[in-house]
Amino acid sequence: MTYKNPPTTPRKSATFDDYTLSEIRRAAATGIYDIRGAGAKRKLPHFDDLLFLGASISRYPLEGYRERCDTSVVLGSRHAKKPIELKIPITIAGMSFGSLSGPAKEALGRGATLSGTSTTTGDGGMTEEERGHSKQLVYQYLPSRYGMNPRDLRRADAIEVVVGQGAKPGGGGMLLGQKISDRVAEMRTLPKGIDQRSASRHPDWTGPDDLEIKILELREITDWEKPIYVKVGGARPYYDTALAVKAGADVVVVDGMQGGTAATQEVFIENVGMPTLACIRPAVQALQDLGMHRKVQLIVSGGIRNGADVAKALALGVDAVSIGTAALVALGDNDPRWESEYNALGTTAGAYDDWHEGRDPAGITTQDPELMKRVDPIAAGRRLANYLKVMTLEAQTIARACGKNSLHNLEPEDLVALTIEAAAMAGVPLAGTNWIPGKNGF
């Protein structure tokens, strides 16, 4: 009998993992960086790393389902003559007509309206579907100014000056030729079928002093009626929030890196910006330092999925949250019922993110007339409303357990962190300790 040397088990590199290797091969073959939709997919410190303490001997709970727990919020009370009053502190984030189909935009408007909340336009102007079906519509004022006009500005319920978004702070958008249909091209004043590049900075202002003058112009055009939001990507939340307040914003929107985009470079999505969890406390701190907390409202977005996330964000001092990716999933995005079609596109339900290619089997991120028929705006709007209702009930359940008769009475004291990272980012103690990393010199 001959002795055989035992073989070594094949070992793959943690650094050069399968995904990384595939991306190197893809780049080498095509010479084009990977473009995709959605937000950061890497594992990040998030709301899952926080827990509520609930009531105990020293804190008594409110009766679940019985006692009042207010969910309403008013946005824009600082300067606007007509602030926005929402029944729930969950809004629908800006997503463009162009990146989304007309029926999908209509469904977002219907779902938001049924739930007593607002929806938001995007980098493509305001459509009739959206205006008609949205009781409260926030009109984005973007660097590209596609479709921007004073008439739509006046029929909006609020104006959101977009400085950046979490998926790509400092970057512009792009919409590939497949999605530049006649209607999209006309709204954006572009030739049909080109790869459209959106500007990354505003064409007529730079810096906080200019922003103040720009906000004055928007207020003058709309006779000081509309709340003015300023949206920033989660990069320097303390200073961006402070500067937005200084520039006169009624509402500051901070979008963390899990916040989605219609399309940008993968390298941008995964490597620029900060996790949502890391953005909240600095933004709240800026408002508190200026004496403007609860006077200028703070909306946070990026990876909000359920009522627990809503409650945790509010406990950290946020006034409202915004959802984009989750709203699309409620409409039907990445639904396993289209699995065979996802497979044909080389992907699987749950991982599909080539939203820019316009071939979405779910009919949401497309301008293909046949595919978009798959979204029934009434049924999809109803699903979104159901989902928003569940999130709200979940958040109320937690708030009552913490003894709060309003979601906005939740506070950092109600929270502990499971990890040192989350404790440091959220500014709450590591569970079972009184240690908040970075506080009191430790």
Q: Which residues bind another protein (CB under 8 A)?
A: 30-32, 81, 144-145, 148-151, 153, 176-177, 188-191, 194-195, 197, 199, 203-205, 210, 213-214, 216-217, 219-224
Amino acid identity of residue 431, one-letter, is A
CA distance linking residue 429 with residue 315, whole number of Å: 14
- DSSP 8-state class, residue 408: G
Shortest separation between residue 182's beta carbon and another protein, angstroms: 15
Sign of the Cα torsion 35, 112, 107, 120 reads: negative
What DSSP character marks residue 130? Answer: H
What lies within 8 Å, CB to CB, of 343 at 6+ separation is none
Provide, rounded to whole angstroms, the least separation between the CB of residue 275 and another protein.
29
Token pair of 242 as six digits = 């402070």
In the bound complex, what is the minimum distance in angstroms from residue 98's beta carbon to another protein? 15
For residue 39, what are the contacts with CB-CB under 8 A and spacing of at least 6?
166, 167, 257, 258, 259, 260, 261, 269, 302, 303, 325
Q: At its nearest, how many Å lie between another protein and the CB of residue 246?
A: 15
Helix (H/G/I), strand (E/B), else coil: 392: helix
Nearer Cβ to another protein, position 223 or 289?
223
- The two three-digit tokens of residue 257, written as one number: 């890196």
Kindly state the smallest distance separating residue 38's Cβ from another protein, in Å.
20
Between 59 and 359, CB nearer to another protein:
359
> Comparing C-alpha atoms, which of 42, 40, 49, 167 is closest to residue 427?
49
Residue type present at position 385: A
Contacts of 318 (CB under 8 A, 6+ apart): 280, 284, 298, 299, 300
To another protein, the closest distance from the beta carbon of 18 in angstroms equals 24
Please, what is the minimum distance in Å from the beta carbon of residue 79 to another protein?
A: 8
